[in-house]
Amino acid sequence: MVAGVVLVALALGVAGVMPAFSQTRHGEAEWAAVDNVQSAVTESISYQGRLTDNNGEPLSGNFTVRFLLYNTPSGGSPLFDSGDQTVAVADGLFTVSLAVAQDRFDGQPLWLRIDVGGQTLSPRQEIRPAPYAMSLRPGAEIRQVATGTAVRVESTQGTGLQGTGRVYGVYGRTSGAPQGAGYGGYFESASGIGVHGRSTAMPSGTNLFAPGVSGYSQHGVGVLGQAATGFGVYGTSAGNGIGGVGQAYGVFGASAAPAQGSGYGGYFVSSTGIGVSGRSTALTTGQNAYAPGVYGFSQNGAGIVGESGIGVGVYVIGNLVATGSKAGYVVDIARNDGDKPLRQGDLVIVTGVTDPVVGNIPVPLVRQADSEASTAVIGVVDELYRPGENEVGRFAAGLINPGDYLTIVTLGAYMVINVDAGYGAIQPGDLLVSSPTPGHARRADNPALGTVIGKALSGLESGAGTVAIMVTLQ
């Protein structure tokens, strides 16, 4: 026990690195700025005090001192207990470092109890902040009237700034006077993600989408994504990558590419499924006469273009209706029923029919035409066809062997048909029928009904060769 000990509190604060104190040549004191502090700020606090006896005389020596931290001025349970420490006192003055957990200083009121030599000094001392530490109390405001940063938080390894709240974890707002001059929140990363949002909430009526990132704008764009060379907005999901709901457009895409034909208003790629799927459950009305699943419009070109490397450029399930003209030619699926391979441009005749491979459309059986003016002519060989799943097959050039499927041109302008001009020179406009030369057509002067395969669009003076044809069975 130490009798008659009096403690005079000098300072209580957060231990750290202070600016160095120096003396000028003229004897005036000044604080020298420390530009680069290498030592880390600890989570301990320093406490300075003065011990005297009852007569006010300062004490010296080693004393057993214990420090306890409470959130009440009396009673309660300690939030921190230093245990007994041997404290060196010189001329009444001492300094100790207390390893109080940082999260104890969260704005709650705190008091420090001190025991010296088993004697509890009374009353407990209220811990008060240094004047500028008041800016860190709950509900405090920090103002920066200059152009610099009001608060800067930096972490070399972990999280720079973390917030938790019932409404907003972190809330940012700009009060910049000029329109578009400020950011409510601005985030930048030189090596990772600029902004990352994550939600583990379940969708509900008031939180229908449970978004990882939500954006709202009173007059403009809710979420704006910009990129110099990559994607302005990119979405990945085990479900839907990007979803949009709007009164005008669910998802709107525009290209500002400087060169004609170098950009896409929307670009969709699938390595396993459908590149673009459109679906409408709307009822047809006067303003929405067709209620289309997919609608395409072009001011100067094609409204919709479908292209496939080896498959179907456009596949229609159901009826096909066109209000304008048709260009090109029409093909139907057939099967080689002969004993010889077929080549592009061969004239073929029908020998029967087999099971459908697309819908309920029967597949004609065909072989090379090899007789004069046959009434069984049905079309001109186009290319090899390989049936596939979901009725979408594949197309290829080359020989079409017996038993293989193929496509034959049954209507429209076609590039070539094999002809034999040995039966008479062929001129543009001549009607063509089958010839005894296998797979070849010839000129017909007075063809019988049902024998004409089409009309020549180009000519051949002699020998076997090819001519362009308008296929029109007559």
DSSP string, 403-427: T-EEEEEEEEEEEEEEEEGGGS-B-
Which residue matches tokens 């004490």? 59
Nearest CA to 98 out of 38, 161, 15 is that of 15
Q: What does the pLDDT look like over 317-360, one tens digit per residue?
A: 777 777 787 788 999 999 999 999 999 999 999 999 999 998 88
Structure tokens at 374: 């046959």
C-alpha 71/C-alpha 105 separation (Å) is: 10
Neighbouring-strand partners of residue 405: 335, 385
pLDDT of residue 353: 97
All domains in the chain, ordered by first residue: 6-22+42-131 (2.60.40.380), 329-472 (no CATH)
DSSP 368: E
Please give the pLDDT value at position 38. 45
Task: Give the whole-angstrom CA distance, residue 419 versus residue 432.
Answer: 9
Tokens of 205: 């009526």
Measured CA to CA, the distance from residue 90 to residue 323 in angstroms comes to: 104
Phi/psi at 407 (5° precision): -115, 140
Strand 363-368 vs strand 329-336: parallel, antiparallel, or unpaired?
Answer: parallel
Please give the DSSP secondary-structure letter assigned to residue 460.
B
Cα-flanking dihedrals φ and ψ of residue 98, to 5°? -110, 120
Residue 408 in contact with residue 380, Cβ under 8 Å? yes
Cα 151 → chain centroid: 32
Give pLDDT < 50 ranges for the chain.
1, 14-39
Query: Rounded CA gap, 426 and 436, in Å?
Result: 16
Rounded CA separation 117/64 (Å): 5
Structure tokens at 250: 């669910």
DSSP E strands in 224-346: the ranges are 329-336
Q: CA neighbours within 13 Å on the CB side: how many for 113?
A: 21
- pTM value is 0.54
Whose structure tokens read 């490397």?
309
Q: Does residue 291 come out as left (phi exceeding 0), alpha (psi in the -120 to 50 range) or beta?
A: left
Sign of the CA dihedral with 407 first, then 411, 412, and 414 last: positive
Q: Strand locations in 6-60, DSSP E? A: 6-14, 20-23, 29-32, 45-52
**CA distances, 281 to each of 13, 182, 288, 294, 296 (Å):** 68, 42, 12, 12, 18
Q: Which pLDDT score is estimated for 135?
A: 67
Contact status, residue 119 vs residue 2, Cβ threshold 8 Å: yes
Q: Are 349 and 374 in contact (CB under 8 A)?
A: yes
Contact (Cβ atoms closer than 8 angstroms) between residue 335 and residue 441:
no
